[in-house]
Amino acid sequence: MNSAGRPRKPFGLGTYVLMLLGVGLVGGVVGAARALLGDQPGQLGLALTVAAMTFGMAVGFAACIWWWRGIDEAAREAHKWAWWWGGSGGMAVGAILLVSLTAVGGDAVAAPAGLTAPELIVGGMWTILLFQLAGYGIAWAVWWLKHR
């Protein structure tokens, strides 16, 4: 409720589309800054990359807070339930897959595939994230189907 005691009107689709376009624009600017400035030699490149990524993440986080405050209680519950069950389940499935593929008979499979340690770490991070998001999407849909 707002200060006048009336329920606040939820944001419309146009508002969310504008927010997504704005956040996408910021992401594009951050990506361009990283591409242009991040290859500077030494600590300067690292500092510029950290600064650009921090700015982009701060904008994204602020957009998430704004969005969360604009949804109703049912939508909040759906997202919390989906992230807990779907994200956790997806992370478990992804971890099982990664461990199964990388520890076959005690030998690491990555060396014959020609992957470096940083490539393996990034690949593992992306795998877990994608499984979490897939699980979240499935759980979110299940929650709404159960509560319609």
How far apart, in whole angstroms, are the C-alpha atoms of residue 95 and residue 124?
A: 9
62-69 contact pairs (CB < 8 A, 24+): 63/19, 63/22, 63/23, 66/19, 67/11, 67/16, 67/19
Tokens of 100: 């199964």
For 40, which DSSP code? -
Percent of the chain residues past pLDDT 70, beyond the cut: 86
- The pTM is what? 0.68
Predicted confidence band of residue 109 (pLDDT cuts 50, 70, 90): low
Average pLDDT, the chain: 84
Length of the chain: 148
Question: What confidence category does residue 7 fall into, taking pLDDT thresholds of 50, 70 and 90?
Answer: low
Helices in 1-148 by DSSP H: which ranges?
13-37, 43-69, 73-81, 88-102, 110-113, 117-146
pLDDT at residue 49 tops 90: no
In sequence order, what are the residues at sequence separation of 6 or more whose Cβ sits closer than 8 angstroms to the Cβ of residue 63? 19, 22, 23
pLDDT, average across residues 83-96: 92
Q: What is the pLDDT of residue 36?
A: 85
- Compute the average pLDDT of residues 83-110: 79
Closest CA relative to residue 15, chosen from 81, 63, 61, 79: 63
The residue ranking higher by pLDDT, 147 or 4, is 147
Q: What is the mean pLDDT of residues 120-137?
A: 90
Q: How confident is the model at residue 4 (pLDDT cuts 50, 70, 90)?
A: low
Query: In the prediction, which pLDDT does 2 show?
Result: 53
Give pLDDT, residue 71: 84
